[in-house]
Amino acid sequence: MLFFLFLLLLSAASSASAKLSLDYYNASCPRVHQIISDIITTKQINSPTTGAGVLRLFFHDCFVSGCDASVLISTNNFNVAERDADINHSLPGDAFDAIVRAKASLELQCPGIVSCADILAIATRDLVSMLGGPFYPIRLGRKDSFTSSAAYVESNLARANTSIDKIIDLFAAKGFTVRDFVALSGAHTVGFSHCSEYADRIFHFNNGGPFAYDPTMNPRFAQALQKACANYLKDPTIATFNDIMTPGKFDNLYYQNLLKGLGLLATDQKIAADPRTAPLVKLYAENQSAFFEDFVHSMQKLSIYGVKTGRNGEVRRRCDAFNNLSG
């Protein structure tokens, strides 16, 4: 029975993704790519952390209930939406704002045509490329979700200290391989993390003494983080870059850093040590082309996960509200 249900879900997912196409908006909104590109380019120039933020927003959207823009919905009196789940509180406002601006511009040119889910997928791809990463084709035609619930978030996303076993199982349950996991982890080559996400690694070893940091960390790196995060309990907004070498460039330095004990999050450093993931970390550290190739494959795979098509979704007038609630 369970196997039959799995096949049924797999068939439904394949059917939905088959309805997507590269030329979906060619007739209905031919300038969709240019309009989105113009908006996010301006946003990235004015707020350089936008690219990393949108990439994280895309992952948090897709991995919970599929790539359906459910993470963009605002909470109302009747429902606590995904974006208000505890793990999503750190999603940056600039990322949401970039998608809202792109949607507003598209509504002026092609009202009611382009879904928020497609905007998020295109914007993510364009921003990755803008930061120096690979450009890849994206099939379009996603519809926006009819639901968004904070209750579904926690069990679908890994925390900064989640075990590798659990993360691999989490990915596998959604049809993603260990290779997908390690390649997608490369997104941490850009952006930043708040001190609270890795405080245990730098303050809570050896009974909090002078060597209170995780021994797998580079000592100078750990001590610098201790200074940077000294007041994080008083100021929870304090954060540091995920990649201390080239924080604003999408490259393979993230993996090179891991081999030197310069991984920021516990999960980052763990993938350099686990025998299932370590060979891929070494490969990507040595060969950026291999990383880019696998990242593209995994992002394209991710971008069609759980998509809604046809009557299973809608094209929202506003990205933060369902049409029946947006007036």
60 is catalytic: yes
Among candidate residues 60, 194, 204, 297, the one labeled active-site is 60
Task: Report the amino acid identity of residue 301.
Answer: K
Is 251 annotated as ligand-binding? yes
70 annotated as ligand-binding? yes
User: Would you say 306 is a known binding-site residue?
Assistant: no
> Binding residue per annotation — 188?
yes
- Is 61 annotated to bind a ligand? Reply is yes
Give binding residues for Ca(2+) as ranges: 61, 64, 66, 68, 70, 82, 189, 243, 246, 251
- Would you please indicate which residues are annotated as catalytic (active-site) residues? 60
- Residues annotated within the binding site for heme b are 188
Known binding positions: 61, 64, 66, 68, 70, 82, 188-189, 243, 246, 251
